[in-house]
Amino acid sequence: MASALAFVDDTRQLVAADNGLYVRTVHDGRLTMVVPLEGDNPATRSNDGRAHPSGTFWIGTMGRRAELGAGAIYAFCAGELTRLFASITIPNAICFSPEGAIGYFADTGSNVLYRVPLDPATGLPTGVPQVLNAHSGPGGLDGAVVDAEGRIWCAIWGGACLHAYSPQGELVRRVAVPARQPSCPVFVGADFRRMLVTSAFESMDTTARAADAHHGRTFLLDVGATGRPEPRVRLGAA
C-alpha cells in the first residue's frame, strides 16, 4: 500500500509503502526495500511525505483506521530512518520553505498546521513544532506544497478547495477545486507555473459520489503562483 513517491535520479524513485521505504527502478517497476517503516506494526501504514531540499525524505504513518495518535513522522536522512514526532493521528501537509530552514506538517485529526525550524543542510529539526494555523472551517488539512515565494498551498479535504497560507500562518488565498475531497497539490510544467491537484472518493457512498461528479479525478489548475522543482532524495551519506 504505497502513499508517497520522490525522485532519486532519472532512473530510480523512492516509494513509501505500508511497511517500508523502497527504491523503484523506473524501467521495470522493480521494488527493493531500503529500510522498514513500522514494518512490525500491521495496524499502521504510510501516508503523506515529501523530500527536503537537502535530500532528506520526511514520511508520516497513521493507523489504518485513523486511530487517535497512532501515527508518527520520520526523516530518512543519510541512509537512516529517525522518528521526529510521535502521537500523530493523520500526518499531512509535509512541505518545506524554499531555503529549507522551516518545515511544515499538519495533523488532520486535530486540523492544526505546524511549523518547525530545521537545519537546511540536513532537513532535521533544530527546535520544537509551533502552531502556525488552526483550521476551523469546513474540511481538513491534507497534502501541501510550498511555492517559490514561501506560501504554503494546502488541499482542504472535504472543503473542495486549496488554501494558501503565508509563512506567518495567515490565510491569503482560497482556490476552488472541482471535487469535494482534494488530497494533494504539486507544481508542474517546464516553468512550474501550473498545479496538479489529486482528489479521492474514500468514504463516499453511491449518493455522495453522484453528488460529486468529479470525485477521484486529478486536476490541472492555474493558481497564479510559481513553484519549484521537487528535490531529489539522497539514499546514503555521500
Whether this model's pTM surpasses 0.75 = yes
Domain 2-221 has CATH 2.60.40.10: no
Question: Mapping DSSP to helix (H, G, I), strand (E, B) and coil, where does residue 210 land?
Answer: helix
Average pLDDT along the chain, 238 residues, taken 10 residues at a time: 96 97 97 96 97 98 97 96 97 98 97 98 98 95 98 98 98 97 97 97 94 97 96 87
Q: Which amino acid is at 158?
A: G
- pLDDT, position 236: 84
Long-range contacts of 39-47 (CB under 8 A, 24+ apart): 43/67, 43/70, 44/18, 44/70, 44/71, 45/1, 45/3, 45/17, 45/18, 46/1, 46/2, 46/3, 46/4, 46/16, 46/17, 46/18, 47/3, 47/4, 47/71, 47/90, 47/91, 47/92
| Residues tagged active-site | 142
- pLDDT, position 225: 97
Q: Which amino acid is at 194?
A: R
Domain residues of the chain, as ranges? 2-221
Distance of CA 162 to the CA centre of its chain: 14
CA distances from 209 to 45, 54, 200, 217, 236 (A): 26, 41, 10, 12, 44
Instruction: Let me know: does 182 contact 158? Beta carbons within 8 Å.
Output: no
Distance of CA 220 to the CA centre of its chain: 18
- pLDDT, position 238: 60
| Per-residue DSSP letter, 233 | P
